[in-house]
Structure 1
Amino acid sequence: EELLRVVRVAVGMGISKLRLTGGEPLVRNNIMHFIRHLAEIEGLDDIRITTNGVLLEKYAQGLFDAGVTKVNISLDTLKRERFAEITGVDCFDRVWKGIETALDLGFSPVKLNMVVMRDINDDELPAFAELSRKMPLQVRFIEFMPIGTSTRWTRDTYMASDEIRARFSALGELIPQKKKQADGPASVFKLGNDAVGSLGFISPISHHFCDRCNRLRLTSEGRLRSCLLHDEETDLKSVLRAGCSDADIRETLLTAIRNKPKGHQMADRMKEEGGDCHGRMSRIGG
């Protein structure tokens, strides 16, 4: 399969960590078959998955057995009715059951990704933070990014990470944690010394981390994207379909890496509602 071939070449170049995103990776046909083959690639040390959680309970055991023991779950609300309003489906209970199943099986870390939107879900910030006191979760608060033209994003719905953190001052002390590789771009804290889990703050707009970014994304259309917030892409699919060699794949990957921008200007572009990134997150992968 083309994807497996690309991964093998990438691993041969020194890439050792892979995250399956989406859209929703668990709706892919034969997803477990694909993951088991990924796990067989020597040198691929870390396979992770980002999911909406709807099918997580069903696939959690298979994922765990295949060595995928690190999971991010996108969850913007803890209210069932609001969940249906935001996502368009009444599946909150299934998602929560998936989270519980992942914890019961021993997935670690289990991260909840909450995109904070003013006047939409920011009233739930304390409830999300309290989860980290009693559950071994890393609850991550992500700035709402103006990606695509069909999102709810406006200047009014955006909340900077510093403002989000300030909301927790009444809940207890935020204790900085030593940064681990698994934390990615998040700044991590504990809400008091007795908290079982942790809180993460991801600030792609107000405190961007472009100088530390080492990610390369492959979109659902077979295009390489070296920056989530730039539209420039490198066509890998056409190279694969043209009967290429592994050396050709390697050179295409290197081209995408060389084209990686030094930074983005999203904060400046926020004056234009809709932003400068026109691809949908479901196509690009988070």
Structure 2
Amino acid sequence: MPLLTDRFGRVHDYIRISVTDRCNLRCVYCMPEEGLKFLPHEKVLSQDEIVDFMKIMVQFGIRKVRLTGGEPLLRTDIVEIVRGIASIPEIEDIAVTTNAMYLAKKAADLKAAGLTRINVSLDSLHEDRFRSITRGGRLQKVLDGIKRAEEVGLFPIKLNVVLIKGQNDDEIMDFLRFTQNKDINVRFIEYMPIGHAGNSWKQKYMSLETIFERIREEGLEFESVESIRGNGPSENYRLSGAQGTFGLIHPVSAHFCANCNRLRLTADGYIKACLYWDEEMNIRPLIQKPDELIELVQKAIDNKPENHEMALKLQDEVTSHQPTWRRMSQIGG
């Protein structure tokens, strides 16, 4: 079977599947304060549809899967979804990105079902600030979830920290110190203009070069390390003497499109070849028609632009494509 390759020679072996657009939090960079109108349940891909879709995709080289949301652990059948995908012989890696509100409760069952790794969204280590950024989250539940994930052997554990100017940028060293005695990868992510009209997002954006500046101000040393196991585009480093590592994901200031190997499937069954652009194609009616489905997936890949041009957006320059209408919670990141 041919591999899924685009016009620029990028081979796609990794897919991020949003299993729900629902979330129990309202993070400031992901969803408006008033929330969003969620999809009715019948519009969301079923467990069988997701697993059947993956049985087709592995025939064309997809080997790695990440389940996202919304919040994927809100799915009452999330363990069964993991088990179904993990049972496909060709699958090499299956991970989940979660806000960890239910992770302590579900970590053991997810591990037993075949989950390989976990990413946890954690944007502050201060209870009040965490509650403000997430609009209602409880920090201790996240920390309990991380601890439980460690206990059941979900490694590596990665913490996703969206750096927000004026809200959590004074916690950079706190997060770096978090890696001193824990085998955890803290990943700083630039604030992105996903789903934002106008330029208001720029007020919260800051370059990740700030991380290096803070480290030098503290008189600390760090070194580059080999890529941490997983599928992410982060550049990884370690503070001298630290057990864990930290990574930088800077899609805006230094985009990583040249090596992009990712596809995305929304909760309502649309394939997206690029996170940022609005082009998407409905594959749901074709899940039982493998030839037509893969033809449509390849069409999406053929239309994939060379890069997402967020850096142009930062400079108020004209971009070549229309940005997506979906908010981050509706795509899955």
Per-residue deviation, 1:7: 0.4
Q: Which residue of 1 aligns with 2:139?
A: 92
Q: 1:61 aligns with which of 108, 113, 137?
A: 108
Residue deviations 1:190-240 (CA, integer Å, cap 9, x gap): 011x21100000010111110100000001121011111111111212434
Q: How is 1:114-153 mapped onto 2 (pairs within 5 angstroms)?
A: 114-149=161-196
Q: Which residue of 1 aligns with 2:295?
A: 251
What is the aligned length? Answer: 281
Q: Assess if the C-alpha contact under 8 Å between 2:80 and 2:113 holds in 1.
A: no
Residue deviations 1:33-75 (CA, integer Å, cap 9, x gap): 2211111111011110100010100110011112213100011
Q: Assess if the C-alpha contact under 8 Å between 1:39 and 1:47 holds in 2.
A: yes
Q: Assess if the C-alpha contact under 8 Å between 1:144 and 1:153 holds in 2.
A: no
Identify if the C-alpha distance between structure 1 residues 123 and 19 changes in structure 2 by more than 3 Å, giving closer, same or farther.
Answer: same
Which deviates the most, 255-264 or 123-132? 255-264
Q: Does 1:104 align with 2:148?
A: no
Q: Does 1:113 align with 2:167?
A: no
Per-residue deviation, 1:278: 2.7
Q: Assess if the C-alpha contact under 8 Å between 1:266 and 1:276 holds in 2.
A: no
Which deviates the most, 172-181 or 15-24? 172-181
Identify if the C-alpha distance between structure 1 residues 13 and 90 changes in structure 2 by more than 3 Å, giving closer, same or farther.
Answer: closer
Q: How is 1:153-164 mapped onto 2 (pairs within 5 angstroms)?
A: 154-164=201-211
SS at match of 1:96: helix
Q: Which residue of 1 aligns with 2:41?
A: none
Partner amino acid for 1:179? S
Q: 1:224 aligns with which of 253, 268, 271?
A: 271
Q: Distance in 1 between matches of 2:177 and 2:303?
A: 41
Partner amino acid for 1:230? W
Per-residue deviation, 1:184: 2.1
Identify if the C-alpha distance between structure 1 residues 61 and 153 changes in structure 2 by more than 3 Å, giving closer, same or farther.
Answer: farther
Partner amino acid for 1:83? F
Q: Does 1:48 align with 2:92?
A: no
Partner amino acid for 1:35? V
Percent identical pairs in the alignment equals 39
Identify if the C-alpha distance between structure 1 residues 152 and 41 changes in structure 2 by more than 3 Å, giving closer, same or farther.
Answer: farther
Q: Distance in 2 between matches of 1:106 and 1:4?
A: 24
Q: Which residue of 2 aligns with 1:165?
A: 212
Q: Which residue of 2 aligns with 1:2?
A: 49
Structure number with higher relative contact order (C-alpha < 8 Å, ≥ 6 residues apart): 2
Q: Which residue of 2 aligns with 1:13?
A: 60
Q: Assess if the C-alpha contact under 8 Å between 2:50 and 2:81 holds in 1.
A: no
Q: Which residue of 1 aligns with 2:227?
A: 179
Please, which runs of 5 or more residues in structure 2 have no aligned partner?
A: 1-47, 317-321
Q: Assess if the C-alpha contact under 8 Å between 1:134 and 1:197 holds in 2.
A: yes
Q: Does 1:190 align with 2:238?
A: yes
TM-score w.r.t. structure 2 length? Answer: 0.80
Per-residue deviation, 1:152: 10
TM-score w.r.t. structure 1 length? Answer: 0.93
Please, which runs of 5 or more residues in structure 1 have no aligned partner?
A: none
